[in-house]
Amino acid sequence: MEIKKAEYVASYPDVRQTPDNGLPEYAFIGRSNVGKSSLINMLCNQKGLAKTSQKPGKTQLINYFNIDNAWYLVDLPGYGYAKISKNKRKEWQRMIDGYLLQKRSLMCAFVLIDANVSPQKNDLNFIDWCGRMQVPFVIVFTKTDKSKSSKIEENIQKFRENLSETWEELPQQFITSANDKKGREDIASFISELNDKLGI
């Protein structure tokens, strides 16, 4: 799949306000500062599409991008961000839960995991929650160009071992690097295959 046109649509504070025109949706979510915006820009081959920031917590709303007038890429707020008030954190959680549990057009959530760090409890808890709530999702390991390959492989293996404690069969996984465009074709093909099943 070659993305020809990617356009920002709007940002919404509540799933009930989001588009409801039947186009399939693919959501991207992960801990703050996981490289989500960079991955989205790499996937769409458009540098300034999603705004990147050195400051965690940049994404605070449900951001919609129209891709080739065929599907939506949805950028969700990060979880696990500590430097906000408890009320704001609860508000973000309601927003995320509302979208993932209520949006019928959601085809798949891409859960981003930083491959440079050892397994994080909030990542593992979020993945287990998705499993319990039957949210369709896959795992995307990001920033694989930032550390030695041996360290990246070690962290990914540890993550898989942790998942194996609660999962009989591991969710599908992608290995990516926004800088090297690694994994771009794999993710694009995965989305294309799901769209093909819908006749898109």
Instruction: Please give the average per-residue pLDDT across 166-177, as a whole number.
Output: 97
Residue 41 within any structural domain of the chain? yes
Residue 19 within any structural domain of the chain? yes
- pLDDT band with cut points at 50, 70 and 90 for residue 39: very high
The total number of structural domains in the chain stands at 1
Residue type, 139: I
Q: Where are the beta strands (DSSP E) in 19-172?
A: 25-30, 62-67, 71-75, 106-114, 137-142
Instruction: Supply the pLDDT for residue 81.
Output: 62
| Stretch (H or E) spanning 138 | strand 137-142
Q: Can you give the pTM of this predicted structure?
A: 0.93
Instruction: Supply the pLDDT for residue 90.
Output: 80
Residue 134 within any structural domain of the chain? yes
Compare 83 and 184 and report the one with higher pLDDT. Answer: 184
Residue 1 within any structural domain of the chain? no
| Contact call for residues 163 and 173 (beta carbons, < 8 A) | no
Rounded CA separation 88/33 (Å): 18
For 40-77, write each residue's pLDDT tens digit.
999 999 988 987 655 544 568 999 999 999 999 999 98
Instruction: Supply the pLDDT for residue 63.
Output: 95
Residue 38 within any structural domain of the chain? yes
CATH code, domain with 18? 3.40.50.300
Rounded CA separation 127/25 (Å): 19
Instruction: Supply the pLDDT for residue 121.
Output: 95
Instruction: Supply the pLDDT for residue 91.
Output: 81
Residue 40 within any structural domain of the chain? yes
Maximum separation of any 2 CA atoms in the chain, in Å: 45
Average pLDDT across the chain, whole number = 92
Domain span at 136: 6-197
Instruction: Supply the pLDDT for residue 50.
Output: 87
For 77-116, write each residue's pLDDT tens digit.
888 665 667 777 788 789 999 999 999 999 999 999 999 9
Residue 158 within any structural domain of the chain? yes
Residue 153 within any structural domain of the chain? yes
